[in-house]
Amino acid sequence: MFDLGGVLLHLNGPREAFDLQMTEDEFLDRWIHSPSVRDFERGTLDEESFARNMVDEAGLPYDWREFIEKFNAWPDKLYPGILELLDDVASTHRCTLLSNTNAMHWERAGIGDELSPRFEQVFLSYVTGRLKPDADAFRMVQKELGCEAHQIVFFDDNPANVEAASDCGWRSFATKGIDELRDKLKLVGVTV
């Protein structure tokens, strides 16, 4: 099971993307706990309301329209070679995707169109209404897959998500980018 941003898809640095005055770790922690982000990525908040809330919540020095532009530019592109890697893994293993994301990013530049065929199942927060690192997101996926916790190997770039998945009994690995992903796949006996 793979996460999207940071694992399969390169993300531009959030400090630069949003003109922030905090570390990337601080940003990621605030991001996954933000009520506005959580509502937006659950699919219960529209784009404009999300952007307006984020400008206020983070005290950003620009308006909501500029935030939307910056937010759209945050995801860059799939890592070179990632589609081939996924094809290799899918030839011998069940491949699934679990991502906290939104329609704007999933549909951007055909990302969803390129990735969907490579996965047996895709679990997107804005569709499922469930978010990592909440345990119910992991339990829902495990139930849908019909397997035991120890059978799931999960790759995510956010330490909080990796820890939460581990707490649910999944074999979980923190990884960023294709090189780290290849290394972690080898650790679990998947040759790519």
pLDDT, tens digit (0-9, with 9 covering 90-100), for 25-42: 787 778 878 899 999 999
How does 81-110 read in b/e, with b if 16+ C-beta sit within 10 Å?
ebeebbebbeeeeebbbbbbbbebbbebee
pLDDT in tens, 128-153: 999 999 999 999 999 999 999 999 99
Q: How confident is the model at residue 24 (pLDDT cuts 50, 70, 90)?
A: confident
Predicted TM-score (pTM) of this structure:
0.92
Nearest-angstrom CA–CA distance, 2 and 76 = 18
Span 44-70, pLDDT tens digits = 999 999 999 999 988 888 999 999 999
Average pLDDT, stretch 11-37?
A: 83
- In angstroms, the CA 1 to CA 67 distance is 31
**Distance (Å, rounded) from C-alpha 165 to C-alpha 12?**
25
H or E segment at 123?
strand 121-124
Per-domain residue ranges of the chain: 11-75, 76-187
Q: Would you place residue 80 in the very low, low, confident or very high pLDDT band (cuts 50, 70, 90)?
A: very high
Q: What CATH number is given for 76-187 in this structure? A: 3.40.50.1000
What homologous superfamily does CATH list for 11-75?
Answer: Putative phosphatase; domain 2 (1.10.150.240)
Distance CA 132, CA 170 (A): 13
Q: Strand pairing of 96-99 and 75-78? A: unpaired
Q: Do the beta carbons of residue 138 and residue 165 sit within 8 Å? A: yes
